[in-house]
A and B are shown apart, each in its own frame.
Chain A
Amino acid sequence: MADCQETLNELDRFLDSELSPGDKEEIMGHLSVCTDCQGAFQFHAELREVVKKKALADELPDGFLDRLKNCFGDQILDDH
């Protein structure tokens, strides 16, 4: 089974869903018996969710979607 260092080395790939099923299983095996590593993985998974939510929280400028739709409108007329 993977030890702590080997497990922590795979933290990025694990959270990025880039591990093969076998490697993922090995990491899960270690996490099920090691609360230290489990805490580290849990922490980074939660942090990722928070970063994602907050980095996408931008209010759109007034009229933005209408102006975007015009990108298509003109060319629809051109095509006729």
Chain B
Amino acid sequence: MEARENFSADVMQYAPQLFSTAVRMTRNRADAEDLVQETYLKAWRAFDSYEQGTNLRAWLFRIMTNTYINKYNAKLRRPDETELDDVEELYLFRRMGAFDQSKMSASAEDQMFELFTDDEVKSAIEDLPESFRLPVLLSDVEGFSYKEISEMLDVPIGTVMSRLHRGRKTMHKRLYQYAKDRGLVNEALLVETDGASAPSQPE
């Protein structure tokens, strides 16, 4: 009884991050709330299988990821070669010279933060097909290791790595497109400053 009461208090601290990740997974706030509630009900019922002292956060995310995959019949195993266009390496980085400095914050530390809106970052993730979206969420947003993600998604570590790499490039390309749509980008600058602001393609 005592242990169970501690448990409910311990798991509540992760509710905000579980909710945000659930929104990115389901792309819908109402579905996300349902998903987190189901996760907590399952966690409560599976309490006896939780080993005290092990990573509670990883355990909860594992339950939520499994619940999402089963509930939405997520296809994580199908060949994904055709799902995303190939994006060149360092896509966004090589285009940073095109950002119009006069429309950006003066402080260098704030620039990256102000370059993209919250909604743009959320959309760039949510637009990814789920076999890429889930690894990117679990790594870039939640910071889980390749091994943890491999276990949560039941795919090999090499697959996790290749999907992260391709998913990130696609997300970065989308962010660039959003900035361009908002008029932050002057691609004429890119030609002029090419090589000055970004490393040339390594030999």
Q: Verify A71–B15 contact, CB threshold 8 A.
A: no
Q: Given A3, A8, A75, which contacts B90 in the complex, CB threshold below 8 Å?
A: A8
CB < 8 Å A-B pair total: 113
With CB as the reference atom, state the residue of chain B lying closest to A67.
B37
With CB as the reference atom, state the residue of chain A lying closest to B92.
A47
Q: Number of contact residues on A: which range applies?
A: 35 or more
Residues of chain B at interface, number, CB under 8 A: 53
Question: Is B161 among interface residues, defined by CB-CB distance under 8 A?
Answer: yes
Q: Verify A75–B146 contact, CB threshold 8 A.
A: no
Question: Is B59 among interface residues, defined by CB-CB distance under 8 A?
Answer: no
Question: Is B191 among interface residues, defined by CB-CB distance under 8 A?
Answer: no
> Contacts A50-B112, A56-B141 hold; do A64 and B121 have CB atoms under 8 A apart?
no
With CB as the reference atom, state the residue of chain A lying closest to B23.
A58
**Hey, which chain B residues are within 8 Å of A16, CB to CB?**
139, 145-146, 164
Main secondary structure of the interface of A (DSSP, over half): helix
Q: Verify A60–B41 contact, CB threshold 8 A.
A: no
Q: Verify A8–B89 contact, CB threshold 8 A.
A: yes
| Closest chain A CB from B123 CB (angstroms) | 10
Q: Verify A4–B199 contact, CB threshold 8 A.
A: yes
**Hey, which chain B residues are within 8 Å of A40, CB to CB?**
90, 93, 198-199
With CB as the reference atom, state the residue of chain A lying closest to B157.
A18
Q: Given A51, A65, A76, which contacts B12 in the complex, CB threshold below 8 Å?
A: A65
| Closest chain A CB from B140 CB (angstroms) | 6
Q: Give the B-binding residues of A (Cβ under 8 A).
A: 3-5, 8, 12-13, 16-18, 36-37, 39-40, 43-44, 46-48, 50-58, 60-61, 64-65, 67-69, 71-72, 75-76, 79
Name 25 interchain pairs, CB-CB below 8 A, sorted by A: A4-B203, A18-B146, A37-B199, A40-B199, A44-B93, A46-B112, A47-B92, A50-B116, A51-B121, A51-B171, A52-B143, A54-B117, A54-B122, A55-B20, A55-B122, A56-B141, A57-B118, A58-B16, A58-B20, A61-B33, A64-B33, A67-B37, A68-B36, A75-B44, A79-B4
Closest 4 CB pairs of A and B: A36-B199, A54-B121, A72-B8, A4-B202
